[in-house]
Amino acid sequence: MQTATTDAGAPVLQARGIGKVFGQHRALDGVDFEARAGEVHALLGENGAGKSTLIKILTGAYQPDEGEVLLNGAPVAFRDPLQAQAQGIGTVYQEVNLLPNRSVAENLFLGHQPTRFGLIRKSVIEARAREVLATYGLEIDVRAELGSYSVAIQQIVAIARAVELSGKVLVLDEPTASLDRNEVQRMFDVVERLKKRGLAIIFITHFLDQVFALSDRVTILRNGRKVGTERLQDVTATDVVRMMLGKDLAFEHHPTGINEGPTGPVRVEFNGLGKAGRVAPFSLKLHEGEVVGVAGLLGSGRTEMARLMFGVDLPDSGQVSVDGKPTTIRNPAQAVAAGFGFCPEDRKLDGIFGDLSVRENIIIALQAKLGWFRALNRDEQDEIAGQYAEALDIRAANHDMPVKLLSGGNQQKVILARWLAIDPSFLILDEPTRGIDVGAHAEIVRTINRLREDGLALLVISSELDEVVAYSNRIVVMRDRELVAELSGEDIAPAVIVKAIAENNTGAA
Amino acid sequence: MSIIRKLALAAGVGALLSSAAWADGLQGKVIGFSQIGSESGWRAAETSVTKQQAADRGVDLKFADAQQKQENQIKAIRGFIAQGVDAILVAPVVSTGWEEVLTEAQEAGIPVVLLDRGVDAPQELYLTSVASDQVKEGRVAGDWLVSTVGDKECKVVELQGTVGSSPAINRKQGFEEAIAGHANVTIIRSQTGDFTRSKGKEVMEGFLKAEGGGAGICAVYAHNDDMAVGAIQAIKDAGLKPGTDILVVSIDAVPDIFAAMVAGEANATVELTPDMAGPAFDALDAYLNGGTVPEKFIITESKLYTPADDPQGEYDRRKGLGY
Amino acid sequence: MKLRNLSFALRPQYAALVAVLLINWLLFPGFFNITWQDGRLFGSVIDVLNRGAPVAILAVGMTAVIATKGVDLSVGAVMAIAGAVAATMVTAGFPALLAVAAALAIGLACGLWNGVLVTLLDMQPIIATLVLMVAGRGLAQLVTEGSIVTFADPVLIFIGTGSFLGLPTPVVIALALAVLATLAVRRTALGLMIEAVGVNRSAARFAGISSRVLLIVVYAFAGFCAAVAGLIVAGDIRGADANNAGLWLELDAILAVVIGGTSLLGGRFSIPMSVLGAMIIQAMNTGILISGFSPEFNLVVKSAVIILILVLQSPMAARMVARKPAAPEPAAARRTAR
């Protein structure tokens, strides 16, 4: 493991007590952060932890509601990313934001060409480009189109451009996500060079091994708050995972006593289900009256697993059987016909129909299952919507109002109601408590327990370890797009889960 | 007499009998024709008449359809120049942007004749242009109406072509000139029917309603026959007899207006001849074989047709031309 | 329910139609005169209905397409194809009913083609239907060989200019189609499915809706409607004019749908309101024709009136006019439109 021996550099970019609120949702709350000259500072957190909001504030895309940003000790208020860039903060994203059909040299200096009497001088630009790229260990034909090079080289050109234009702070936002292992190494070499030149580098990724390989310090965010900043030489992967998944966890066996093991018969069985590049083949049985929790970091393949089960993505191997009968599931419509339900992680994108009414949002899956010609009439719709709205305590002024006017928690309950209305035998919940307030949070957890008691088979994906532990009969752990552990009984404890996630963390690239 | 002298004599007699001085003067000549496309029945007829004329005269016609694009026409003309044709006919799709390619043709010594439309280019760049006189077309229609109604009061409704198009402007002007001295003939309503049958019918319906069911309308003047055919149907739907209760005069002489004449529902049409190639070939014949430089603007005849001019025969004759 | 009906009557589209009709009446006092003549109603108002029928029929199909967040630019060209096919067949001696069936089948096939491009090839609707918009007119010209194919077939002429119970056949056809389509989408779950796909196609997939089949059906229906409109337009002038039949009518149909209150972003839709939108457009056209204004003013007047209508029905205007909370609430308003 590569760790820095010094943190002697002076703070270049500092954030103090940053708070940011979107509507009713608090995205950041009192977050402190600093990046020092000559260090690589990793920023970690699950989806919704506040990483991207913090980065957007540091790079001028958002303005903070509370707190201040300091550059070299002086408070700054960037209007936009261009201003931040002009003052020394450059950003490189996963998707290269350059012009693939222009030459490398042009891309490097676009908008900032060295000119003479107002004329762009090609030969000068090209010579300068060669010079600059040489300092990154890159010797390529700078006259060739950028698009003719690999993504890794394009990334390095993007980094070089950001550093040339800015020069103090470099923000790398998931830069390695589309690179292979050799390319990642090449990128790391470049980052090492820049570190030696005294840049402050902020590194955002969800690959733990890369954090340890490259970074000096790590700051971990969770639910909009800072969990801590640690020197990586002082912590283990397990520590980091624990911080990401549950800062307030009481690391002991949970007391609910529900994990005695399933009693009901097998409801659904997935046998060797997999899709190349998404999830390695896995097998899993779910029983009646059983909750199986899925733990794993972002990008570990947990959502991909659920999508395969529900036919959103087409598996290229494996079989499914429901109540012992082989069943074909090649699209969500077939999954719904088989009695499956799926509350997706991205509620807004994949879940709610914003302009449709609460009532229509609740009955839509049942109606899809019934088909076009067996339309539920208005009275039936009202009855079903009323029944589940009451059961789940959905708070809406009336059921004819557009669902987009409801709060996040109530929207989540509407989607849950939609699936309960089809009387499902197997329900997948992907991050059911994300982005909803604490009260609704507890209600959803209570509902999960009630559904279990009603005999449903449930698969619940969650980054909230304390929650998963509280309601799961069994827990499967995903890592690097693979199902790596199945925990039951005594093993359903945060410490064991964290260990399973962090164990052998040899690279997810 | 030797056979040769007999042939020479026969040729001489033939030449005397023929309307043109050099009857088979274009025999074997290669002539390129860049046509706009086939956007209307008239255009299709022009193409087929041109091909027929070429075949009759033994001309090797190289035909190029530009599909409404000037760039295609310029390409075609350059192709003709490269092939070393004897002459080029062009029906230009737009009026501007021709100078360069016309200069190229001139430098190659190839005469160019414009068909049916003019261009904004120096006149010395082309040999001549063959076109109809749209103002005259309107005037012939107006003259017919004036002489037909005599001193009687006659309220006319006008179906204009597409607003702003040159045939609409000119045909309106010509008609107005013709009725100018006759206070008994007045245009009471004028609207655009976009040169189409369905709009002609719709506009005529409106006119009939607005003018008390059509009782006050003496005649309809349509800028083309298609609108007149639509108007005839509207008049019939309103319970009146087109051609009798309301006179119908229009321009173009397409086959369907002759069918209406046969049925007694149309009274007059002014021909926009599709035979632009005939005068063009005549001019080229005179120029290539006799060195006679033709006039810069050759105006085709604007012939008036009425039910007295064998409409059934005209219908049959035109039906085959691709209208 | 009573309150809802009240807000229904206050919708800007009704106000717009009444205003346009009133202006027509001021310009031409005989506008509302209707007489009985040759066994049919006769008058300017009847002309509005009759002339508006083709666009209304297009709008019926277009409404469903737009509700799925799509658009069909090819309907004008499909009209030309349908007219060309029917006219060419009857002049070639085929029985009229066969010609009509063939024209409708070809319209359906054109719609299926669009649906396949949009769903299976996942092309953007505006591009996918642009293909047929451009190529379709060319196809129609191929069928007619560039000329107007005139016919005298009584069945086709009846479709275009006949009358049924005193009303022009096109009006009866448009009315029947609009009523049947409204029943088909509202008495079944089709309407809800269309709205769901239009609001959020991804969520529709997750909810188990087969959006591909749905989209193909919707585009096929739009093609069918276009073929019906094409038959009417051809029958009206007793000829198939491949160059001009349905030219730019796709834009009028889109406008009718928008005036009717269906958003181009998909979702909530109302077929009757789209038909009303078509009538507003035609009332305006007829008004311009009988007003006696010089034709140079046609487009300016038309666009000014359209802007006025669209501003009146914008959410901003609704907020300014209706301070009371009941009126602008979309779900309640739509319910009564069913």
Q: Where are the domains of chain B?
A: 19-132+274-292, 134-272+308-315
Which residues on C lie below 8 Å from B41 (Cβ)? 146-148
The answer to whether the CB atoms of C188 and A402 lie below 8 A apart is no
Architecture of domain B19-132+274-292 in this structure: 3-Layer(aba) Sandwich (3.40)
Place of tokens 């070639």: C92
pLDDT over 50 at C338, yes or no: no
The reported pLDDT for the residue numbered A119 is 62
More confident site: B126 or A208:
B126
The reported pLDDT for the residue numbered B18 is 41
The reported pLDDT for the residue numbered C321 is 60
More confident site: A330 or A503:
A330
Q: What is the mean pLDDT of residues B173-188?
A: 96
pLDDT over 80 at A425, yes or no: yes
Contacts (Cβ under 8 Å, ≥6 apart) of A47? A298, A345, A431, A434, A463
**b/e per residue A17-53 (b: at least 16 CB within 10 A):** ebbbeeeeebbbbebebbbbbbbbbbbbbbbbbbbbb
Lowest-pLDDT choice from A371-375, B170-174, C52-56: A371-375
Whether C325 and chain A come into contact, CB under 8 Å, resolves to no
pTM of the entire predicted model = 0.79
Same fold, A11-235 and A252-339+424-509: yes
pLDDT over 90 at A69, yes or no: yes
Contacts (Cβ under 8 Å, ≥6 apart) of A498? A238, A241, A242, A245, A465
What is the arrangement of strands in the sheet containing B87-90, beginning at the earlier edge strand? Answer: B60-65, B30-35, B87-90, B112-115, B128-131, B297-299
- Looking at 3.20.20.70, 3.40.50.300, 3.10.180.10, 3.30.420.40, the CATH number of the domain A11-235 comes to 3.40.50.300
Each residue of B241-255: pLDDT tens digit? Answer: 999 999 999 999 999
The reported pLDDT for the residue numbered B21 is 42
More confident site: A350 or A239:
A350
ipTM above 0.95, yes or no: no
Q: For chain B, how long is the longest CA-to-CA vector?
A: 80
Distance of CA B257 to the CA centre of its chain: 15
Tokens of B311: 């409409």
Amino acid in position A159: I
Domains in chain C, CATH or no CATH each? 40-337 (1.10.3470)
- Rounded CA gap, A214 and B243, in Å? 94
Tokens of B180: 């100018």
pLDDT over 90 at C296, yes or no: no
pLDDT over 70 at B115, yes or no: yes
Residue A297 near residue A243 (C-beta atoms within 8 A): no
Q: What is the mean pLDDT of residues C153-177?
A: 95
| Dihedral over Cα of B301, B306, B310, B311: its sign | positive
The answer to whether the CB atoms of C289 and B230 lie below 8 A apart is no
pLDDT band at A283 (very low <50, low <70, confident <90, very high): very high
The reported pLDDT for the residue numbered C324 is 44
Q: What is the DSSP letter of A456?
A: -
C residues 55-114 closer than 8 Å to A (CB) = none
The reported pLDDT for the residue numbered A437 is 66
Same fold, B19-132+274-292 and B134-272+308-315: yes
Which residues on B lie below 8 Å from C150 (Cβ)? 256, 259
Beta-strand (E) ranges in chain B?
30-35, 60-65, 87-90, 112-115, 128-131, 154-160, 185-192, 219-222, 247-252, 268-271, 297-299, 304-305
> From residue A327, how far is each of A320, A330, A425, B265 by CA, in Å?
6, 10, 14, 73
- Rounded CA gap, A186 and C331, in Å? 57
The answer to whether the CB atoms of A335 and C208 lie below 8 A apart is yes
The reported pLDDT for the residue numbered C318 is 65
- Chain B neighbors (3+ CB pairs < 8 Å): C
The average confidence (pLDDT) of chain C is 89
Q: What is the mean pLDDT of residues B227-245?
A: 95
Which residues on B lie below 8 Å from C241 (Cβ)? 196-198, 226
The answer to whether the CB atoms of A360 and C196 lie below 8 A apart is yes
Task: Give, in words, the CATH class of A252-339+424-509.
Answer: alpha beta
Each residue of C72-109: pLDDT tens digit? Answer: 999 999 999 999 999 999 999 999 999 999 999 999 99
What are A119's strand-pairing partners? A116
The reported pLDDT for the residue numbered A260 is 57
Q: Do chain A and chain C touch with ≥3 beta carbon pairs under 8 Å? A: yes
Each residue of B25-62: pLDDT tens digit? Answer: 789 999 999 998 877 778 889 999 999 999 999 999 99
Lowest-pLDDT choice from A233-242, B188-197, C172-181: A233-242
Each residue of A443-484: pLDDT tens digit? Answer: 888 889 889 988 999 999 988 887 888 889 999 999 888 999
The answer to whether the CB atoms of B233 and C241 lie below 8 A apart is no
Whether B273 and chain C come into contact, CB under 8 Å, resolves to no
Amino acid in position B90: V
Burial of C22 (0-12, 13-18, 19+ CB in 10 A): exposed
Q: What is the DSSP letter of A357?
A: B
Whether C29 and chain B come into contact, CB under 8 Å, resolves to no
Domain positions in chain A: 11-235, 252-339+424-509, 347-423
The answer to whether the CB atoms of C233 and B44 lie below 8 A apart is no
pLDDT over 90 at B8, yes or no: no
Whether A349 and chain C come into contact, CB under 8 Å, resolves to yes
Distance of CA C46 to the CA centre of its chain: 17
The reported pLDDT for the residue numbered A246 is 67
- Rounded CA gap, B85 and B64, in Å? 13
Place of tokens 């552990």: A485
Tokens of A205: 């990724």
Residue B295 near residue B129 (C-beta atoms within 8 A): no
**b/e per residue A416-444 (b: at least 16 CB within 10 A):** bbbbbbbebbbbbbbbbbbbbeeebbebb
- Strands A89-92, A169-173: pairing kind: parallel
The answer to whether the CB atoms of A350 and C204 lie below 8 A apart is no
Q: In 10 A of CB A14, how many CB atoms?
A: 18
Whether B35 and chain C come into contact, CB under 8 Å, resolves to no
> From residue A153, how far is each of A93, A102, A190, B89 by CA, in Å?
14, 14, 11, 58
Residue among C177, C175, C206, C191 at smallest CA distance from C68: C191
Q: What is the 3-state secondary structure (H, E, C) of chain C?
A: CHHHHHHHHCCHHHHHHHHHHHHHHHHCHHHHCEEEECCEEEEHHHHHHHHHHHHHHHHHHHHHHHHCCCCCCCHHHHHHHHHHHHHHHHHCCCCHHHHHHHHHHHHHHHHHHHHHHHHCCCCCHHHHHHHHHHHHHHHHHHHHCCCCEECCCHHHHHHHHCEECCEEHHHHHHHHHHHHHHHHHHCCCHHHHHHHHHHCHHHHHHCCCCHHHHHHHHHHHHHHHHHHHHHHHHHHHCEECCCCCCCCHHHHHHHHHHHCCCCCCCCCCCHHHHHHHHHHHHHHHHHHHHHCCCHHHHHHHHHHHHHHHHHHCCHHHHHHHCCCCCCCCHHHHHHHHC
The reported pLDDT for the residue numbered B252 is 94
Q: What is the mean pLDDT of residues A51-73?
A: 91
Residue A228 near residue A251 (C-beta atoms within 8 A): no
Residue among C257, C282, C276 at smallest CA distance from C268: C257
pLDDT over 70 at C244, yes or no: yes
> Which residue in B163, B194, B195 is closest to C296 by CB distance?
B163
pLDDT over 70 at C327, yes or no: no
The reported pLDDT for the residue numbered C192 is 96
The reported pLDDT for the residue numbered A114 is 62
Tokens of B132: 């109809």
The reported pLDDT for the residue numbered C325 is 42
Place of tokens 């790391």: A188
Residue B246 near residue B221 (C-beta atoms within 8 A): no
- Rounded CA gap, C230 and A342, in Å? 45
Tokens of B117: 């439309």
pLDDT band at C8 (very low <50, low <70, confident <90, very high): low
The average confidence (pLDDT) of chain B is 90
- Domain B134-272+308-315 sits in CATH at 3.40.50.2300
Whether C202 and chain A come into contact, CB under 8 Å, resolves to yes
The average confidence (pLDDT) of chain A is 86
Q: What is the 3-state secondary structure (H, E, C) of A185-213?
A: HHHHHHHHHHHHCCCEEEEECCCHHHHHH
Q: What is the mean pLDDT of residues C250-255?
A: 95
Start-to-end Cα distance in chain A: 16
* Residues recorded for chain C: 338
> Which residue in A310, A356, A371 is closest to C196 by CB distance?
A356
Whether B143 and chain C come into contact, CB under 8 Å, resolves to no
pLDDT over 70 at A434, yes or no: yes
Whether B206 and chain C come into contact, CB under 8 Å, resolves to yes
Which residues on C lie below 8 Å from B237 (Cβ)? 161
pLDDT band at A263 (very low <50, low <70, confident <90, very high): low
More confident site: A116 or B69:
B69
- Rounded CA gap, A265 and A257, in Å? 20
